[in-house]
A and B are shown apart, each in its own frame.
Chain A
Amino acid sequence: MAEERIDLPQGTLDLLILKALALESMHGWAISERLQQISREALQVQQGSLYPALHRLERRGWIKAHWATSENNRRAKYYKLTLQGQKQLEVETATWRKLTSAVGRVLDTA
């Protein structure tokens, strides 16, 4: 199973976190679960690198954190996309699309 997974390219983790938070605000564990589920277990997200990434995004003002009680009655730190983060998500999504289609074209024609 592990062999089929691919490691995340540099910088894409931020984009995936923003995408995951676009639907609803979540705590860290839920984000890591969500990423694995929606990528159908194809992407290997290092759980350890998730938390530094969250702090980085918070510093840039793209996400906001607050403490709340989780679904099973435990205190958890929830992250929420800010307005600025929403814009950033759009920008990064567009960039990613452009990049993959360009790389795809090069691979197809070459």
Chain B
Amino acid sequence: MLKDLLYRLRALFHRREMDAEVDDELRHHIERETEKYRRAGFTPDDAARRANLALGGREQIKQQSRDSRGTKFIEDLLQDLHYAMRSFAKTPGLTALIVLSLAIGIGANTAIFSVTSTLLLKPLPYPNPDRLAILWLRSPGIGIPQDWPSPGQYHDIVTQNRVFQDTALVIGDSYTLTDRAKAIKVDGIQATSSLLPMLGAKPLLGRIFLPEEDQLGQPKTVVLTYGLWQREFAGDPNVVGRAITLDGQTHTVIGVLPASFRLNHEVIPTVGGIDKPEFFMPPPDDAKNPANYGSENYNILARLKPGVTMRQAQSDIDVIAARLREEKHRDRSFTISVVPLTEQVVGDIRTALLILFGAVALVLLIACTNVANLLLSRAAARQREIAIRAALGAGRMRVMRQLLTESVLLSLMGGVAGVSISSLSISIARKMHPGNIPRLEELGMDFRVLGFTFAISIFTGVVFGLAPALRASRVDLTANLKAGGKGLANSGLSVRHDKLRGALVIAELAISLPLLVGAGLLVRSFIRLANVAPGFNPQHVVSMDVGAYGPQFKDPVTRIQFYQQLSERTRQLPGVSATGAVSALPLTSAVGWGGMQIEGYVPPPNEPELQVDQRAATPSYFSAMEIPLIRGRVFAETDTDKMPRVAIIDQKMADRFWPNGDAVGKRIRPSDDSPWITIVGVVGVVKEYGLDTETRMVVYYSHTQRPSGTMYVVARTASDPASTTAAIIHLVNSINPNVSVYDVATMEQRVQDSMARQRFAMTMLGGFAGFAMILAAIGVYGVMSFLVTQGTAEIAIRMALGAPRTGILSLIFRQGMTLALAGVFVGLLGAFGLTHLMSSLLFGVKPTDPLTFFSVLAMLLFVALSACLFPAGRAMRIDPMVALRTE
């Protein structure tokens, strides 16, 4: 085998020498053969003639010898490539256009594929990730699609399940790391010791947690991630055993995790909304109490026993959930669902991703169609050349092979350019940072992506090359050579003569229409979304998270004083008209909710405990945000802890319990053991979680009566937001250098960021659809202009016979619009069938929104019409005398 290959390689590289050898060999043969005949008595001439005759055609033998050396395929290929490059060089403009179309088509596919591959194909970086699951509570019957479980439920599941090999209870939160120059906020996770081994984490330094650390009364320990160890401890190799202070409490570092260990919020969305934990600690005491069913703030992660399916696990947990439903009086729709971790990570991005993938596949299809069309025009111009090759003995397969080599070469060049385009678009996508696209940091080119690109390049090369090659290789020799290479004279001025081209253009228009409709629907959704009133006025408002916690803020009074002092000094800043603070600002990851009881309201049996969002706010928070006061009053500085407890509720809660508008003066309380709190005001509803998300009911407490240590400070300012922000941070530092500021943004930015995903989808699909439309327009233009070229003679004759120029114009337009209407009609059918797939991406717009359909239709027809303009103009300017003379 190897010898064979070496021989072939030698034959390939020493081709000339080997040919010369054959020549020598054949010459020797002829000489000897001639001698033989001469000795037999023939004349020298006759002998030589007989010898040559006996041997046969020398060139043929040489060719056959070459073939039997096994290099024919490659030699032909090299020849074809050489020839292809030469013909590309002759038509650089056309070649560039083709390569560019393909590059964008292939590039877009590569980019989307690399996202899809990372999310849907690449396994999570944990051992046996298909056996990992996350558990969620669901009560769809009472409007809770998904909620966090409690330690009580965890203990029930641990003791009663028969399907899990391992389970872990997890809670995440933000902490302040002190005893350093400046306090910093770090996110961490408290979890049972089972979590890290379940995810395959092994310590880089020291150890991870022991099972006994799940018990009460253990020393406080912490395991650092690689990132935190490097950043805050400068990679200190002796960090194990060191004491660090988190939220004022001393913890001993027992280990460091390797850099490869990753646990992002998309894997475990904790109730605290932390993005990425930077350290791990044993579970809090709260988690160790099996009777704690109230604190629904935990995540449960589980690893299935080998051989157990997700379905089996779900039915096992269903039994436990049914028991809980009875014993704990949950609503009838209560379930606990077992979600495969892969599913959790991909989540609702799957639909968007598949739609985008479908869209880029369609774009590539259009690009192929277009290139096929361009190649057809080129093939038509090359008919004479191909006819000559055929006349010289090139077989049909040989001609096709050469044409396919050209198209595959084109698509490979497109592929190479496409890879750079997709790298570029991935880095743009990273910059756009579409909020919740998971595992974005893992994104990139890998062998799988490159393999995919290579495969689709070859595939597209064959797809768009096949039709033109088939057509071109079927040449009518005599007709072509006689016609002098101008193509067949009988192809008149009608697309009907050229069904293939007509079909390609119809296909292009038909494919681009659903794309445009999809993009149009997303644009309409986005506009709808952007017009949703957030319930506050985001303009000219700066905001930041100011954390007054840690040991020196243990006394609640110090917190109240700090924020009051900050508020007073902020108000005096130039340009600031109002300032306030709230414990959980809308459109941030901050949350806070809990149970609520209403005086005189007895919930019907089976209705779960009332859960409402709860916030602590300062008196001027509402005016700073311009959240309208509907009834009663806002908080006052006099609402201190010496005074009766007061609360403000939002309109949603007021409407639910006091539809007659008499909420003010009524009383509520968070639990049985807390005092009653009097409602003093009703404010407008605020979009807390996103413009497209229904809000829950909200109760605001006065910060002076319920001091929180993490408050978002907002300030409405007439001057530059950046300088106001800087000024406030300066104030914070001058009041107390130990207080840290995080998450700084203007409210307008927060509103924009909350729409990042929708904007991302809209931009992507819009871009693809726009490209599809441009390609379709080029397609229409190409066909019409080819038609005019081919039909020049006919037009000239018509003109010579007295046809008016406007008649010619309408002839061309009629042809073009017939194609356009046919394409648009097919496309409409497709769009009606496809757009419902994207209903989950739409907001306030139906998938069959007539306005969108109508505008897209009009736009596409207009574009097609414009694409006919130039060819029609050219047809009108044909001079019959000149045209007929050249024919």
Chain B: CB-nearest residue to A31: B29
Interface residues in A61-100 (C-beta closer than 8 Å to B): 61, 70, 74-77
Is B56 a contact of A53 with CB atoms below 8 Å? no
- Partner pick for A51 among B11, B31, B61, CB 8 A cutoff: B61
- Partner pick for B3 among A29, A61, A75, CB 8 A cutoff: A61
Is B4 a contact of A59 with CB atoms below 8 Å? yes
Is A59 a contact of B7 with CB atoms below 8 Å? yes
Is A47 a contact of B29 with CB atoms below 8 Å? yes
A48 vs B33: C-alpha distance in the bound complex, in angstroms?
13
Chain B: CB-nearest residue to A57: B68
Is A77 a contact of B24 with CB atoms below 8 Å? yes
Is B4 a contact of A61 with CB atoms below 8 Å? yes
CB distance from B29 to the nearest CB of A (A): 5
CB distance from A67 to the nearest CB of B (A): 8
- Which residues in A have their C-beta under 8 angstroms from that of B4? 59-61
Is B29 a contact of A28 with CB atoms below 8 Å? yes
- Partner pick for B56 among A27, A46, A75, A77, CB 8 A cutoff: A46
CB distance from A63 to the nearest CB of B (A): 12
Is B28 a contact of A58 with CB atoms below 8 Å? no
- Which residues in A have their C-beta under 8 angstroms from that of B33? 29, 47
Cβ-based interface call for A52 (8 A): yes
- Which residues in A have their C-beta under 8 angstroms from that of B25? 27-28, 51, 76-77
A77 vs B20: C-alpha distance in the bound complex, in angstroms?
12
Interface residues in B13-38 (C-beta closer than 8 Å to A): 21-22, 24-26, 28-29, 31-33, 36
Cβ-based interface call for B733 (8 A): no
- Partner pick for A56 among B54, B56, B68, CB 8 A cutoff: B68
Is B28 a contact of A75 with CB atoms below 8 Å? yes
Is B61 a contact of A48 with CB atoms below 8 Å? yes
Known A48-B56, A48-B61: A59·B8 in contact at CB below 8 Å: yes
Cβ-based interface call for B67 (8 A): yes
Cβ-based interface call for B736 (8 A): no
- Which residues in B have their C-beta under 8 angstroms from that of A46? 56
A76 vs B61: C-alpha distance in the bound complex, in angstroms?
18
Known A47-B29, A61-B3: A77·B21 in contact at CB below 8 Å: yes
Q: Mark A26-42, 1 if CB is under 8 A from B, else 0.
A: 01110011000000000
Is B54 a contact of A47 with CB atoms below 8 Å? yes
Is B24 a contact of A52 with CB atoms below 8 Å? no
Cβ-based interface call for A10 (8 A): no
Chain B: CB-nearest residue to A74: B28
How big is chain A's contact interface, by range? 20 to 34
- Partner pick for B24 among A32, A33, A60, A75, CB 8 A cutoff: A75
Cβ-based interface call for B55 (8 A): yes
Known A48-B61, A52-B64: A59·B56 in contact at CB below 8 Å: no
CB distance from B21 to the nearest CB of A (A): 7
Cβ-based interface call for A49 (8 A): yes
Chain A: CB-nearest residue to B33: A29
A47 vs B52: C-alpha distance in the bound complex, in angstroms?
10
- Which residues in A have their C-beta under 8 angstroms from that of B68? 52-53, 55-56, 59
Cβ-based interface call for B60 (8 A): yes
CB distance from A59 to the nearest CB of B (A): 5
- Which residues in A have their C-beta under 8 angstroms from that of B36? 33
Cβ-based interface call for B307 (8 A): no
Is B55 a contact of A48 with CB atoms below 8 Å? yes
- Partner pick for B22 among A29, A51, A61, A74, CB 8 A cutoff: A51
A74 vs B25: C-alpha distance in the bound complex, in angstroms?
11
A47 vs B64: C-alpha distance in the bound complex, in angstroms?
13
Is B60 a contact of A48 with CB atoms below 8 Å? yes
- Which residues in B have their C-beta under 8 angstroms from that of A47? 29, 33, 54-56
CB distance from B1 to the nearest CB of A (A): 10
Is B65 a contact of A51 with CB atoms below 8 Å? yes
Chain B: CB-nearest residue to A82: B3
A75 vs B21: C-alpha distance in the bound complex, in angstroms?
11
Q: Mark B61-72, 1 if CB is under 8 A from A, else 0.
A: 100110111100
Is A59 a contact of B65 with CB atoms below 8 Å? no
Cβ-based interface call for B57 (8 A): yes
A53 vs B57: C-alpha distance in the bound complex, in angstroms?
16
Q: Mark B119-160, 1 if CB is under 8 A from A, else 0.
A: 000000000000000000000000000000000000000000
CB distance from B763 to the nearest CB of A (A): 58
A104 vs B234: C-alpha distance in the bound complex, in angstroms?
90
- Which residues in A have their C-beta under 8 angstroms from that of B8? 59
CB distance from B782 to the nearest CB of A (A): 47
A33 vs B33: C-alpha distance in the bound complex, in angstroms?
9
CB distance from A6 to the nearest CB of B (A): 17
Chain A: CB-nearest residue to B35: A72
Is B31 a contact of A48 with CB atoms below 8 Å? no
Chain B: CB-nearest residue to A76: B28
A46 vs B3: C-alpha distance in the bound complex, in angstroms?
28
CB distance from A10 to the nearest CB of B (A): 14
Chain A: CB-nearest residue to B54: A47
Is B31 a contact of A74 with CB atoms below 8 Å? yes
A77 vs B65: C-alpha distance in the bound complex, in angstroms?
15
Chain B: CB-nearest residue to A70: B28
- Partner pick for B28 among A53, A55, A60, A77, CB 8 A cutoff: A77
CB distance from A84 to the nearest CB of B (A): 9
- Which residues in B have their C-beta under 8 angstroms from that of A76? 25, 28
Most chain A beta carbons < 10 A, residue from B11, B24, B55, B68: B68
CB distance from A88 to the nearest CB of B (A): 13
CB distance from A2 to the nearest CB of B (A): 12
A53 vs B65: C-alpha distance in the bound complex, in angstroms?
8
A55 vs B15: C-alpha distance in the bound complex, in angstroms?
13
CB distance from B308 to the nearest CB of A (A): 57
Interface residues in B803-847 (C-beta closer than 8 Å to A): none
- Which residues in A have their C-beta under 8 angstroms from that of B28? 27-29, 70, 74-77
Chain A: CB-nearest residue to B30: A29
Chain A: CB-nearest residue to B26: A51
A51 vs B67: C-alpha distance in the bound complex, in angstroms?
11
Q: Mark A1-40, 1 if CB is under 8 A from B, else 0.
A: 0000000000000000000000000011100110000000
A44 vs B262: C-alpha distance in the bound complex, in angstroms?
78
A71 vs B22: C-alpha distance in the bound complex, in angstroms?
20
CB distance from A58 to the nearest CB of B (A): 7
Chain A: CB-nearest residue to B1: A61
Most chain B beta carbons < 10 A, residue from A33, A49, A52, A58: A52
- Which residues in B have their C-beta under 8 angstroms from that of A59? 4, 7-8, 11, 68-70
A47 vs B54: C-alpha distance in the bound complex, in angstroms?
6
Chain B: CB-nearest residue to A60: B4
Chain A: CB-nearest residue to B64: A52
Is A48 a contact of B57 with CB atoms below 8 Å? yes
Is B65 a contact of A55 with CB atoms below 8 Å? yes
- Which residues in B have their C-beta under 8 angstroms from that of A33? 36
- Partner pick for B29 among A29, A53, A55, A61, CB 8 A cutoff: A29
CB distance from A99 to the nearest CB of B (A): 24
A53 vs B21: C-alpha distance in the bound complex, in angstroms?
15
Is B29 a contact of A58 with CB atoms below 8 Å? no
Is B24 a contact of A49 with CB atoms below 8 Å? no
Is B70 a contact of A52 with CB atoms below 8 Å? no
A28 vs B55: C-alpha distance in the bound complex, in angstroms?
12
* Further 17 A-B residue pairs, CB within 8 A, beyond A59-B8, A59-B11, A77-B21: A27-B25, A27-B28, A29-B29, A47-B29, A47-B33, A48-B56, A49-B64, A52-B61, A52-B67, A53-B68, A55-B22, A55-B65, A55-B69, A58-B7, A59-B70, A61-B3, A75-B28
Ordered by A's residue number, 30 sampled pairs between the chains whose C-beta atoms are within 8 Å are: A27-B25, A28-B25, A28-B29, A29-B28, A29-B32, A29-B33, A47-B54, A48-B56, A48-B57, A48-B60, A49-B64, A51-B26, A51-B65, A52-B65, A55-B22, A56-B68, A58-B7, A59-B4, A59-B7, A59-B69, A60-B4, A61-B7, A74-B28, A74-B31, A75-B24, A75-B28, A76-B28, A77-B21, A77-B25, A77-B28
Q: Which residue numbers of B lie inside 8 Å of A, CB to CB?
A: 3-4, 7-8, 11, 21-22, 24-26, 28-29, 31-33, 36, 54-57, 60-61, 64-65, 67-70
Closest 9 CB pairs of A and B: A48-B56, A52-B64, A56-B68, A29-B32, A52-B68, A55-B68, A29-B29, A61-B3, A55-B65
